[in-house]
């Protein structure tokens, strides 16, 4: 017989949640600055910020899904990047 999972109670977000949001938005900010300064890799910072925010923010997750529907190449590239990140996480521990 299959057990039902209990519905999770909504807990207030912890400090880790807010730190990850701040980190994600910080990367996005550096990405926008990097688009205009030749020293910083703007696209790289934007990509890292979006990847961090998709795990924490429903709005950003929705935006990425909409972009993936409109631009299939973006969706494929993001899927490859997520697989590579998962592989690196497993290798590092």
DSSP secondary structure letters along 30-62: HHHHHHH-SSS-HHHHHHHHHHHHHTT-HHHHH
Per-residue pLDDT of the chain (93 residues; tens, 9 = 90+): 555 555 556 667 788 888 989 999 999 999 999 989 888 788 888 888 888 888 888 998 899 889 889 998 988 888 888 888 888 888 887
Phi (first) and psi of residue 34, to 5 degrees = -65, -20
Phi (first) and psi of residue 33, to 5 degrees = -65, -40
Task: Please calculate the CA angle 75-78-82 and round it to the nearest 5 degrees.
Answer: 140
d(CA 47, CA 18): 19
- pTM value surpassing 0.85: no
């Amino acid at each position: 017989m299959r057990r039902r999972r209990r519905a999770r109670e909504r807990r207030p977000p912890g400090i880790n949640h807010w730190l990850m949001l701040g980190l994600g938005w910080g990367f996005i900010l550096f990405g926008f600055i990097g688009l205009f300064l030749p020293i910083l890799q703007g696209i790289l910072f934007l990509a890292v910020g979006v990847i961090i925010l998709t795990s924490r923010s429903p709005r950003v997750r929705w935006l990425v899904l909409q972009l993936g529907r409109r631009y299939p190449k973006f969706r494929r590239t993001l899927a490859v990047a997520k697989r590579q990140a998962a592989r690196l996480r497993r290798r590092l521990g």
